[in-house]
Structure 1
Amino acid sequence: MKPNRVIFFIFNNVHLLDLAGAVTVFYESGCCGKNYDLHYVSPYEHPVASSGLGFTNVEPLSSVTVNRNDIVIVAGMEIQKWNRADDQLWMPWLRSAAATGATICSICTAAFALAATGLLNGKNCTTHWSWTKALQQQYPQIKVIENKLFVQSDRIFTSAGIATGIDLALYLVEEQHGAAFTHTVAKDMVVYLRRDGMDSQDSVYLQNRQHIDHHIHQVQDFIIKNLHQKITIGELAELVFISPRNLTRLFKIATGITIGQYIQSVRQEKAKHLLKTGHKIAWVACQCGYNSTSQMRKLVRARSVNN
């Protein structure tokens, strides 16, 4: 059986991580036993990344005919340098690709390209949080959803950008190969926990980390990696050589919540994810540091209601 084909569409001034994150997911899937046939296309002979890196081995659009089993991923680009005078070089190709029934995806600002083609008319979509208002204003015929990692409308996916391209790619792998295999891919990439499109862009693993306090980041990382055991403030304080009282104060200043609230939030989110992947309830409770399955059920249910 031929491997599925993933076609990465590259604009000039493409953002490297928007491209590389999704590429790595499908590459690692092959390393884990499920191969994808990766292609790179561009309307430009020698596209250049926003960081100045040039690309070779990029196929012209005219040489690649998309079929309904393909996945086309348009990586985000620097909007300020997006050359709209070149629209006719790529718009017909992308519209034709969508017409075949292929899966069409945008990462970050590439949602502007999908909107420009009309593919998002009447559909829900998203983009990076700093561009959602501009996207909605420029294309009033679409519905921009804020604070989502990615949004699906039929076979068109739009993601919030940068690292969320990884989340979207993992979701697409899971659609084809299941949650257990995708968990293996994520683990191989050292992605702690895959998020799905219904999670907000500021998932608990991103929430409360907008600060620059290295000690508090260390504490948060330790908590995430040791949820299966009892975690005390004294233990955390020793980790960063700060008194328990001072750590409690600094954590609240940096994150806006208490250490206890943070631990509970992370445990609830991890438990929700593990339950979705089909693990036994008792094992999930143990992995997340709950004393009993009933305690876990109650707290996870409470988080779902509050969200």
Structure 2
Amino acid sequence: MLFIIPPKVHLLDIIGPAHIFYEAKEYEADIQLHFVTISNDIEINSSAGLHFTKLEPFHTFQLSENDFVFVPGIEFSLISDNQFYLANKPFFEWIKNQYDNGANICSICTGTFLIASSGILNEKSCTTHWKYFSEFNEKYPEIELVKNRLFVAEERLYSSAGVTSGIDLALYVLETEFGSKMAADIAKEVVIYFRRSESDPQLSVFLQYRNHLDTRIHDAQDYIIKHIDSSLALEDIAENVHMSPRNLTRLFKKTTSITIGAYLEKLRLDRAIHLLAEGNKVSYVANQCGLKSSNQLRNLLKKYGEILPAQIKSLL
């Protein structure tokens, strides 16, 4: 496993996945970890100010199909600097050669910009951080950008949305290389009790519809999430935020562009998918989602059947 350390690297992009494979190594997985510079510099300053030192030069490695390279995100000021690409042209040529030799290339966050610059993503699909979709499309129109996905895997090329999704991608790679039990054990070891999959969106519904400044509606959303396992009544929500049900209904829709009922339904769907993916029984999941019966849960899942992961569809 090679972890590329570019200038102004985002710490969690590199440390998160590296720790996953470190733990796997502790579980006796046959893994070697290398931390590699993209230039001749053996000391690199991260975006947060923490220095990496004693790095290995990239050109000392010749890789094959058993090897993985992780390319993390960096500050966008470098991503948009043509001089940065020119100065590191040898690295981009090297990473293309490694891919041509069979190596697996993984990017995290804006690291997708870096591997795209090597040309290996041309005519293929990938993802990157949602904040930079427009810039990526403008810079690399020949690459299919998949939006609202945690990570994308195609022909030994893996790209992820950024930050914690790099950990999800690392667990996915671990599972494909060493099996589901190993991935589950490591997820438990690092206290990640739910592992998100390739089909999960970048922004879960628990984060969506919160891009507003109305504290009363935030309080209402917090109350709904906290009590999602109960049969919520509009009157209870309204009382908690000291509003009338009618005024709350009107203001909630105006502020979030979604009704309270639709919001609650999406929350329950998201939670149900996660709980079912962990292997819980349908009756238990229905109860945890505040639904009256297993049939009510199945009806909810069928309503959104086209977006369900395959493993969940099989339960319908």
Q: Is this a same-fold pair by TM over 0.5?
A: yes
TM-score, length-scaled by structure 2: 0.78
Give yes or no for contact 1:209–1:255 (8 Å, CA) kept in 2.
yes
2:136 aligns with 135
The one-character-per-residue Cα deviations of 1:21-45 (angstroms, maximum 9, x if unpaired) are 33344445567x4755433111232
2:210 aligns with 209
Q: 2:57 aligns with which of 56, 60, 63?
A: 60
Shift of 1:165: 2.1
Taking the TM superposition and a 5 Å limit, the aligned residue runs for 1:273-284 are 273-284=274-285
1:106 aligns with 107
Give yes or no for contact 2:231–2:291 (8 Å, CA) kept in 1.
no
Taking the TM superposition and a 5 Å limit, the aligned residue runs for 1:122-161 are 122-161=123-162
Distance 1:196 1:87, change over 3 A: same
Give yes or no for contact 2:16–2:164 (8 Å, CA) kept in 1.
yes
Taking the TM superposition and a 5 Å limit, the aligned residue runs for 1:1-307 are 6-27=1-22, 33=27, 37-43=32-38, 44-82=41-79, 83-176=84-177, 182=183, 185-186=186-187, 193-212=194-213, 216-217=217-218, 220-221=221-222, 223-224=224-225, 226-233=227-234, 242-243=242-243, 245=245, 251-305=252-306
- For 1:127, give the aligned amino acid: T
Shift of 1:103: 2.2
Distance 1:285 1:76, change over 3 A: same
The one-character-per-residue Cα deviations of 1:162-181 (angstroms, maximum 9, x if unpaired) are 33323322332343455676
Shift of 1:75: 0.3
Distance 1:306 1:119, change over 3 A: closer
Shift of 1:300: 0.9
1:9 alignment partner, SS class: strand
The one-character-per-residue Cα deviations of 1:202-232 (angstroms, maximum 9, x if unpaired) are 3313211223456655654554455433344
The 2-side partners of 1:68 and 1:124 are apart by: 20
The one-character-per-residue Cα deviations of 1:84-106 (angstroms, maximum 9, x if unpaired) are 12233412331233234232111
Shift of 1:118: 1.2
Structure 1 gaps, min length 5: 1-5
- For 1:46, give the aligned amino acid: E
Structure 2 gaps, min length 5: 309-316
The 1-side partners of 2:23 and 2:251 are apart by: 39
1:151 alignment partner, SS class: strand
Distance 1:306 1:39, change over 3 A: closer
TM-score, length-scaled by structure 1: 0.80
Give yes or no for contact 1:8–1:73 (8 Å, CA) kept in 2.
yes
The 2-side partners of 1:120 and 1:147 are apart by: 18
- For 2:139, give the aligned amino acid: Q
2:117 alignment partner, SS class: helix
What is the Cα-based RMSD across aligned positions, in Å? 3.3
Give yes or no for contact 1:47–1:55 (8 Å, CA) kept in 2.
yes
The 1-side partners of 2:64 and 2:280 are apart by: 36
The 1-side partners of 2:154 and 2:178 are apart by: 21
The one-character-per-residue Cα deviations of 1:262-307 (angstroms, maximum 9, x if unpaired) are 2221211222233334433233323333222211111011123378
- For 1:16, give the aligned amino acid: L
